[in-house]
Structure 1
Amino acid sequence: MLLDLLFPNRCLHCNRIIDAREMVCGICMDQIKFTHHDFITPNFLTERCSLLFPVRHACALMQFEEDSLSRKIVHQLKYGQREMAGKVLAGWACERLDFAEEVPDLMISVPLHPRKLRERGYNQLHLFTETVAAHFSIAFDHQLVKRNHYRKAQAKKDKSHRTETEGLFSVAKRFENRHVLIIDDVFTTGNTISSVAWEILKAGNNTVSVLVMAVDE
C-alpha cells in the first residue's frame, strides 16, 4: 500500500495515475492499434504464416509499429519486469477472440531456454497463456515444447541472424490429432513460430494455429 502511494502505477502513454492492474488509461486505449482479428477470418497474419508452415488460423492482437504504444506495452512485459502485463493483454485478447467452432485442444507458449528463464525470472508468455486458457476452458502445457539452445533476444539480434532456428526447439513427447494454438509475443520474420510449428506437426497428425500479442508489419 505504501509503495503504491510512493510509486503509483502510471499510464505508459500519458503518465496519468491508473489502477495497479492496468497498463494504460481509458483515454489512451484509443492510441493502441488493435488489428481487429477475430481468429477465424483469414487475415494478413494467416497469409504470412501459410508461407512458412501449414496453419489453420492465425490472429494478432495489436500492430507492433515503431514507437507505438503496443511496442511499449510488449517491451514492458518482456524487459520491464512487469509480468502482470501478460494478464492485461490476455484480457484484451479474450474480449476480441472468437473461436466459434474451432476451439483449440491445447495451448502452448514459445518456451525460453532455462538460462534465459533464470535471467528474466519468468516467461512473459505464461500468464497470458494461462489467462486465455482459463477463459475459454482450453488445456495448456508449458513443458511440451522445449528450447534447446540459449540465444540473445530477437530484438537485440541483427536481422541477418534471426533465421537461425534449425533445431532450436523439440517436443518432450509424441502426441497426435490435436489442434494446437501456439502463443508468442511478437511475430516478426515468423521463423521462431515456424520452428515450433514444425516440431508440433512432426510429432503426429496435428494442426496448428497461432495467436500473438503483436505483429510487426
Structure 2
Amino acid sequence: MILDILFPNRCMNCNQIIDGNLLVCNICFEQINFTHFEYSQDNYIKEKCKLLFPIENTFALMQFEKESLSRKIIHELKYKNREIIGKILAEWTIERLDFKNEKPDLLVTVPLHPKKLKERGYNQLHLFTETLSKFYNIPFEHDLIKRNHYSKAQALKDKQHRLKTENTFSTTRNIEGKHMLLIDDVFTTGNTISSVAWEILKSGNNKVSVLVMAIDA
C-alpha cells in the first residue's frame, strides 16, 4: 500500500497514474494497433509462412510499427525486466483469439540460449504462454526446442544476419502426431519461426500453427 502511494503505477505511454493491474491508460490503449486477424483465416503472417514451411493457422496480436506503442510494450517486456507484461499481453490475446474447431494440442515457445536466459533472467514468452495455457486448457512445453547458438538480440542484427538461421535450433526429443502452436514475440522475416517449425515438422507427423505478440510488416 505504501509502495503504491510512493511509486504509483503509471501509463507506459503518457505517464498518467493508472490502476496497478494496467499497462496503459484507456486513452493510450486506443493507440495500440491491434491486427484483428482471424486465427483460421488467411492473413499476412500465413501468406509469409506459406512461402517458408507448411502452415496451418496464424495469429498476431498487434502491429509493430516504428515508434509505435506496441514496439515500446515489447521492448519493455524484453529488456526492462517487466515479465508481467507477458501476462497482460496474453489477456489481450484471449479477448481476441478464438481457436474454434482448430485448437492446437500443444503450445511451444521459441527458446532463448541459456546464456541469454541467464542475462535476461526470464524468457519473455513463458508467462505469456502459461497464461494462454491455463485459459485454453492446452498444455505447454518450454524445453521442446533448444537454441544451439548464442547470438545478439534480433533487433540489433542487420537483415543479412537475421536471414542466417540454419542449424540454430533442434528438438530435445521426438514428438509425433501433434498440432503445435509455435509462440514468439515478433514476426519479422519469418526465418526464426521457419527454422523452429522445420525442426518440429521433421520430428514426426506434426502440424504447425503460429502465434506472435506482434508483426513487423
TM (norm. structure 1) is 0.98
- Provide structure 2 residue ranges, at least 5 long, that are not aligned to the other structure: none
1:47 & 1:81 partners in 2: Cα distance? 34
Residue aligning to 2:103: 103
Deviation digits for residues 79-115 of structure 1 (CA, Å, limit 9, x no counterpart): 1110000000000000100100000000011000000
SS class of match (1:212): strand
Q: Give the partner amino acid of 2:216.
A: D
Residue aligning to 1:181: 181
The residue correspondences of 1:145-164 to structure 2 (distance < 5 A) are 145-164=145-164
How far off is 1:40 after superposition?
Answer: 1.0
1:38 & 1:87 partners in 2: Cα distance? 21
Residue aligning to 1:65: 65
2:111 & 2:146 partners in 1: Cα distance? 6
Deviation digits for residues 159-210 of structure 1 (CA, Å, limit 9, x no counterpart): 1210111111110111111000000000001111110000000000000000
How far off is 1:8 after superposition?
Answer: 1.6
How far off is 1:6 after superposition?
Answer: 2.1
User: Which stretch has the larger CA shift, 15-24 or 182-191?
Assistant: 15-24
Residue aligning to 1:74: 74
Residue identity over aligned pairs, in percent, reads: 64
Residue aligning to 1:196: 196
User: Which stretch has the larger CA shift, 158-167 or 180-189?
Assistant: 158-167
How far off is 1:25 after superposition?
Answer: 1.1
1:72 & 1:20 partners in 2: Cα distance? 19
- Provide structure 1 residue ranges, at least 5 long, that are not aligned to the other structure: none
Residue aligning to 1:123: 123
How far off is 1:2 after superposition?
Answer: 3.0
Residue aligning to 1:209: 209
How far off is 1:66 after superposition?
Answer: 0.3
Residue aligning to 1:94: 94
Q: Give the partner amino acid of 1:172.
A: T
TM (norm. structure 2) is 0.98
